[in-house]
Structure 1
């Protein structure tokens, strides 16, 4: 299994000849989608969903209804190859995928909740979980958690507690374009300090690097 981080929340997973790209948004170079067999999108925010990326490649897209509605408006040509998925659904995209959760984390109580579904991907004996912008546990053991570490809806204490709840052996930082490098250094220190005693590894890598 190969996991490559491609800008903010975008991750590319390759295993046994299948390549799946998750959340190629505005901070992601389009080349992240080269050779992809499928694209998964968690929700409609532009740091996770950019219609120009989807128009540039002829790849099946799997996402929730709220995003599919946006695609019909923004990129009708992509709508023809978009499949709507729902929480709890299991997909066979060359790799088994399970859809998890329904709502984005609370940004502010006075703002509406956006819809959001994460995905658990199984690559051989390993399970990888991308939660999107939510702190919803996957409901099963996973080996790698793609862990959001910054955002206007997120506190570092919530990130720590979420990682502890999921209990993945490896935690790879995503959603990391909001803080400066100095701020991310502080977050990295807290996560390493609190997760290590439980035997949980935390790592943040540069765009284009592999886990």
Structure 2
């Protein structure tokens, strides 16, 4: 059986290839800026080093840098990285599997995983975030954006299949407890479907 996460990453890379060929100007988003600012403040560092995983790589890295942090973005796919560099030429981006980012252990004050967990099968969530745990210093923060519900499975797009997962919030928090992550903050992002932003601290 193919890895559903890699199938999704391959689809995103094909989507990025189309955008590379068509974009005339850098794209940007402003949503989540307040949450990004709060996240950086909570790290307690004057210039927090933040690892960015998942969607909206360029926009999120730009926000973090503009708000006083230092972002490193990781995504799988040559075209995804090329698109991030096109959208944010000043950014620092690395190609690799976001589940196992090739970065130094304990090098980051925060990991912004964003919507990455929308693509991760429920059974593999702890393993998928083990790399984020390793990248964080003790006391470092992890941010995830979850959709709540029961859905899990592929949906088809013009460029291929994308895996979609909705979560039970309590079970997700229990799963991360195995990695010594303790939830310290919760924001409601949307109502239909219900979406939440959760911040965790790495205890050890």
Would you say same fold, with TM above 0.5?
no
Q: TM-score, normalised by structure 1?
A: 0.40
Q: TM-score, normalised by structure 2?
A: 0.41
Greater share of strand: 2
Structure of higher RCO (CA pairs closer than 8 Å, 6+ residues apart): 2
Greater share of helix: 2
